[in-house]
Structure 1
């Protein structure tokens, strides 16, 4: 035990505040429509989108951010160049916005809202595990959300929030509903990833897939992406606290 303490003292604090881990500008994020460049209405962007996230309406591309997987095909095939891919990852949807919140503010908000830690139960209902890997990163030394009072629990009966990944499959439908019912009130549900948010998954049409999470249970927070970055997941948790 003394050897462990000596090592801890010698190593020091290796955890970095998550707000400093900003994605680089070259990272793929939100696709936006540049208003100063008119659309030619060629529909090439909508035709190449693998998740049907783009519709051209009255000569203007409309992007469903819940279904967008940031592949960039629409930007590459846009002849007019009116589409632009940014590095913006803060796409979690909820009424209003919390703006820029630091880690210390996140910790204060959790204590102010719950008076204790925020407990999360993760539920994989059919994902490819891409979102699950990114979700695991929020507990690593760089982001370390446990230092702000956020913990993952093994039982939905101990959870405040359900973090659901993947599209709803037929075999997982009952498990999703039973897990939702077992979570005590007040409870929140977060759909994590493009598949969970929109149901327009890249797996294609299948008899085994029923669609988005909100087709079976109410969803409070949508965190799109394929997969969403750890920073996007933390931003979604901030919005979840605002809803709670």
Structure 2
């Protein structure tokens, strides 16, 4: 039964996106991954509106004091096992907002983050690669290391979706 669950989790992860106080640069790039140009849905990923149906929390921005409680509430509403991807420099360390009076810090100060995707903002290829790294780790039957940071390999080129006319 565990093999079937793992197969379903890897082949159709449902994600929810949460902006914890960013400038929206990363949010635009996450939405760009859903467009036909990058077509992240080819991996079976579906963006959900409810945390109760999501397996993966894709979080952007530094955690502001206002958003901290909402972020925790969304995280605890997700069913187990749940995974967190921190996107952007702000999500990793607070970025340009580091040291502000209303910023807690990066997302890992509030939640256990499975994959970090650096960049300001990261390109859609980097976000897709971060999701692919998470799925590969899940395919092997183990959680990724908590400190895993995704960097695109040298010469990495994301294949474009086929355009039919």
TM-score of the pair, normalised by structure 2: 0.76
Q: Is the 8 A contact 2:90 2:97 kept in 1?
A: no
Could you list the runs of 4 or more consecutive aligned residues of structure 1 that deviate by over 6 angstroms after TM superposition?
none
Please name the residue that 1:179 is paired with.
Answer: 74
- Asked if 2 retains the 8 angstrom alpha-carbon contact of 1:113 and 1:241, the reply is no
> Distance in 1 between the 2:98 and 2:87 partners?
18
User: In the alignment, which residue of structure 2 is the partner of 1:155?
Assistant: 50
Q: Is 1:134 the equivalent of 2:26?
A: no
> Which deviations, in whole Å up to 9, do the C-alpha atoms of 1:176-223 show, x marking residues without a partner?
111111111111000000000122x21352210010001011000000
CA-atom RMSD in angstroms: 1.5
Query: 2:97 is paired with a residue of what secondary structure?
Result: coil
- Find 1:215's aligned residue among 81, 104, 109: 109
Greater share of helix: 2
- Unpaired runs of 5+ residues, structure 1, are 1-110
* Cα distance change, pair 238–146 in 1 and its aligned pair in 2 (3 A): same
Aligned-pair distance for 1:118? 1.1
How much has 1:116 moved relative to structure 2?
4.7
**Post-superposition offset of 1:230:** 0.5
**Aligned equivalents of 1:115 and 1:192: distance in 2?**
20
Deviation at 1:114, TM superposition (A): 2.0
Partner of 2:99: 205
Q: Does 1:144 align with 2:39?
A: yes
For residues 160 and 144 of structure 1, what CA distance do their matches in structure 2 show? Answer: 19
The alignment status of 1:191 with 2:86, answered yes or no, reads: yes
Report deviation, 1:240.
Answer: 1.1
Structure 2 gaps of 5+ residues are 1-5, 139-165
Distance 2:92 2:131 in 1: 15
Task: Kindly tell me the number of residue pairs found equivalent between the two proteins.
Answer: 133
TM-score (norm 1): 0.52
Q: Distance in 2 between matches of 1:155 and 1:193?
A: 23
